[in-house]
Structure 1
Amino acid sequence: MTTRVRQTVTHLADGRELIYFDDTEPFVSGAATREVHDRRDLPPVAAASEIRRDPLTGEWVTFAAHRMDRTFLPAAADCPLCPSTATSATEIPAGDYDVAVFENRFPSLGAPSGTSDLVDDEPLWPRRPATGRCEVVAFTPDHGARFADLPLTRARTVVDALAARTAALSALPGVRQVFCFENRGVEIGVTLQHPHGQIYAYPFVPPRSRTLLDRAREHRARTGRSLQRDVLDAELRAGTRVVWSGEHWSGYVPAAARWPLEIHLAPHRDVPDLAALDDPERDELAVAYRDLLGRVDRFFPGVDRAPYIAAWHQAPVGEDRESGRLFCQLFSLRRAPDKLKYLAGSESAMGAWISDTTPERIAARLREVAP
């Protein structure tokens, strides 16, 4: 079921890039083109973000004060991700679309390049512009849809869009890590309800990725093998936490799952990122990902749409790339139909997680709610 996709690149009124990923006629064949222009009068985006290094942890912290006034939970009639109409101009000028990707109007990253300096002239606190790029991925023009309900052809188009943008952003100067993700639910902190994802192109390797890479490098030095490959093989051998398995992908609840609902979806082949997937792997990913998101929505009785984060862990660009391996971490902070998992003292201050369930119970429930 390989989907043919045409990319059309245009620009919004303030100069931001917009890319349509079309899988339907008359656009996919080129019989028609997206000639609609953004009719809004927008000022240029002024991203003045900076990053500062925490001397206690070595981590870079991003400061993006311009995001304080970003759009927050607008009514459906004012949604900026819906197609434009005769009376409403949105971030997507076309009257309809398949999948659309555009530069975020309120980006966390994307400050102009500049020189590094010190906060208060103290060597302990280096800072520099938060270069990079933030993009929004609108999965569908349907405001009330969810990813699990998309046709397989459209889910595959989203996969292709994420892969294409991963490749393009990885080639930008200064980018060290490309992170594709979806936040869903007000409990997660979303500011737009329309089904969408995001892509961050970081100018540094984030802390979680650094930890994964360090552990992978240590494991290879000790055993000569890939850590994530060994974890996947061990989960498949045990079978007790496997919830989905196909020819190219397997989904499982990790043996040390932190969240009350957590699934890792990993390819059977060692690949660094989404861009490296071949057509059969992308086809099956669309099936597996849609299936697992549907199970998340059925996991808690009486909950129609569980809040979740879908995070695509990819290999970094440049140094340590050989230590990275693609996988998706899908998790929810809901622990019961009417309760959330709060990261309190132990988790937030010490990073020491305490779970209210077991991975085996999570896996058993996910198998119960399989379609």
Structure 2
Amino acid sequence: MTTTVPTGESAGPAAVRRTATRLADGRELLYFDDSEPYVSGGATRRLDDPRPLPDRFAPAVGEDGTGEDGTVRPVTGPEMRQDPLTGDWIPMASHRMNRTHLPAADSCPLCPARPGAQYSDGEVPDTDYDVVVFENRFPALMQLPGVAVDHTWQVDDDPLWPARPAAGRCEVVCFSSHHEQSFTDLTPARVRTIVEAWADRTRELSALPGIEQVFCFENRGREIGVTLPHPHGQIYAFPFVTPRTQAMLRRAAEHRESTGGHLLRDVLDAERRAGTRVVLESEHWTAYVPAAARWPVEVHLAPHRDVLDLPGLTGPERDDLAVVYLELLRRLDRFFVDPATRAPIPLPYIAGWHQAVVGAGRDLGRLHLQVLSVLRAPGKLKYLAGVESGMAAWISDTTPERVAARLQELGPVRLSPAAPDDDTASHHDSEDAR
């Protein structure tokens, strides 16, 4: 099935074409194309998936579906239990224990299909793509058909331990079809397409029943635990508000009560007034090292205008973001250098978008990106100490001012507006793909 929906406010003459299909086991896959002949409808990506995968919701036969004892078992989804001591919801995705850990040396499930190959276990049917999004084959959060998202029970029939289905959704975002690339190798135009994909998925996932928060993020580097080097990120649609967001909402509510202001707005304004920790600034965005940063390298990127989430960004803000975000990551990749060769050390990082929650407290949120790294020096990682792991009492290995000063050395703080050309991000109308 091929469908197209508007992908954001117009910002120029070009377009992004969104084409939806289903994989062999029923999972949704979406192509986001910005190149010809696909963007104009002159050609369509491959939509059929030839793999002999069973329907993911079909009953399994035998233990783990092996058929050993002939017993038919209905598919089960992940559950989540509430910690009575903190109130946190803890998803328990035991069905992921049998997922693939590392692919074969000569294959990658995120690469496009090999031309002429009859079958491969890759997730993308076509032999090429610009940006593609699909449901995770082994999700930590999943909504089962026929199971109410608000169904509750008690572990051991004890009211101390309420439980619910972990009825969310997990998606994978492939930033490029080129296996050896990283995000920093992309053009601003391609990053702009990724912004469209993030906004599209945030809008649609937020509308699913029971979803309370959408988190778009990228993990990069073996030090972070990444097992697939292919350039990709993920999107989690949570059926609960995450602990960090809950803490931020409490602080924002207290700040509003005591000052009448918006906490995240006031933090951005204060950082811009001080200027000491501002590392990058453009017409619509400012990147800064937060005054109370806890990670060895940590940078926040926030829009100047009050925006709740990625779908709320205007076309010019999305254009600007594609340039600023790419420049920020490229500078972070030069933060550390090898002491022997003086070559830059690619930074292992987690980059995640904090967006307003879907329900109560939404007005307290404000869009911003957090980029953090566990690398504290060349060849040295930050391991959480006992007080950090056991008590969440963080101790920084440096000061935010030192981190900001290093990033300020790597390029001008103020970015000049980019001249519009084929390598910038000034594009993205939507077109019909029927």
Q: The TM-score by the shorter chain falls in which range? A: over 0.9
Which of residues 241, 245, 260 is equivalent to 2:296? 260
Q: For 1:7, what is the secondary structure of its paired residue? A: strand
Say whether 1:205 aligns with 2:246: no
Which of 21, 25, 35 matches 2:32?
21
> Partner amino acid for 1:172?
L
Q: What is the CA–CA distance in structure 1 between the aligned matches of 2:104 and 2:404, rounded to whole Å? A: 37
Query: 1:5 is paired with a residue of what secondary structure?
Result: strand
Evaluate the alpha carbon distance shift between residue 76 and residue 276 of structure 1 in structure 2; reply closer, same or farther with a 3 A threshold: farther
User: For the residues of structure 2 that align with 1:311 and 1:331, how far apart are their CA atoms?
Assistant: 9
| One-letter code aligned to 1:38 | D
- Distance, in Å, in 1 between the alignment partners of 2:195 and 2:143 is 28
**1:10 has 2:38 as partner:** no
Please report how far the alpha carbon of residue 75 of structure 1 lies from its aligned counterpart in structure 2 after TM superposition.
4.7
**2:140 aligns to what?**
108
Q: In the alignment, residue 255 of structure 1 is paired with which amino acid?
A: A
Q: Identify the residue that residue 44 of structure 2 maps to in structure 1.
A: 33
**Pair 1:334-2:391 in alignment:** no
1:221 to 230, 243, 257: 257
Provide structure 2 residue ranges, at least 5 long, that are not aligned to the other structure: 1-10, 57-74, 339-343, 413-434
Are 1:47 and 1:109, in contact at CA under 8 Å, matched by a contact in 2? no
How many residues matched?
371
Q: Does 1:271 align with 2:318?
A: no
CA distance in 2, matches of 1:359, 1:47: 46
Tell me if 1:352 matches 2:388.
Answer: no
Please identify, of 105-114 and 124-133, the stretch whose mean Cα deviation from structure 2 is larger.
105-114
- Select 1:284's aligned residue among 311, 320, 328: 320
Q: Give the Cα separation in 2 of the matches to 1:173 and 1:368.
A: 47
Matched residue type, 1:123: P
Which amino acid in structure 2 is aligned with residue 190 of structure 1?
V
Q: Deviations over 1:53-72 (max 9, x none)?
A: 00000000000011122222
Residues 1:47 and 1:91: Cα distance change in structure 2 (over 3 Å): farther
Of the candidates 93, 96, 114, which is equivalent to residue 64 of structure 1?
A: 93
Matched, 1:133 2:162: no
Other structure's SS at 1:298 match: coil
2:105 aligned with 1:94: no
* Distance of aligned partners of 1:304 and 1:71 in 2 relative to their CA distance in 1, 3 Å threshold: farther
Counterpart CA distance in 2 for 1:292 and 1:73 is 30
Under a length normalisation based on structure 2, what TM-score does the superposition of the two structures give? Answer: 0.83
Does structure 1 retain, via aligned residues, the 8 Å contact 2:21–2:47? no
Counterpart contact for 1:84–1:93, Cα < 8 Å: yes
1:134 Cα offset (Å) = 0.4
Structure 1 CA distance for aligned equivalents of residues 286 and 55 of structure 2: 44
Q: Secondary structure at the match of 1:204?
A: coil
Q: Which residue of 1 aligns with 2:272?
A: 236
SS in 2 for 1:211: helix
Cα deviations by residue, 1:253-286 (Å, 9 ceiling, x for unpaired): 0000000100000000111100100000000111
Conserved 8 A contact 2:335-2:345: no
- Length-normalised TM-score, structure 1: 0.97
Q: Judge conservation of contact 2:290–2:300 (CA < 8 Å) in 1.
A: yes
Q: Secondary structure at the match of 1:187?
A: helix
- Secondary structure at the aligned position of 1:77 is classed as coil
CA deviation after TM superposition for structure 1 residue 148, in Å: 1.2
Gaps of at least 5 residues in structure 1 are: none
Question: What secondary structure is seen at the aligned counterpart in 1 of 2:222?
Answer: coil
| CA drift at 1:76 | 5.7
User: How far, CA to CA, are the matches of 1:170 and 1:13 in structure 2?
Assistant: 25
User: Which amino acid is the alignment partner of residue 57 of structure 1?
Assistant: T
Relative contact order, higher structure (CA 8 A, sep 6+): 2
Preserved CA contact (<8 Å) 1:185 1:306: yes
Give the secondary-structure state (helix, strand or coil) at the position aligned to 2:81.
strand
Q: Post-superposition shift, 1:36?
A: 3.8
CA contact (8 A) 1:11 1:18 kept: yes
Q: What is residue 411 of structure 2 aligned with on the other side?
A: 370
The alignment partner of 1:158 has SS state of helix
Q: Larger Cα Rg: Structure 1 or Structure 2?
A: 2
Comparing 88-97 with 127-136, which one deviates more in the overlay?
88-97
| Native 8 Å contact 1:110 1:134 kept in 2 | yes
Q: Is the 8 A contact 1:47 1:106 kept in 2?
A: no
Residues 1:310 and 2:351 aligned together: yes
1:192 matched to 2:192: no
Match of 1:183 in 2: 219
1:47 Cα shift? Answer: 5.6
33-42 or 205-214, larger mean C-alpha shift:
33-42
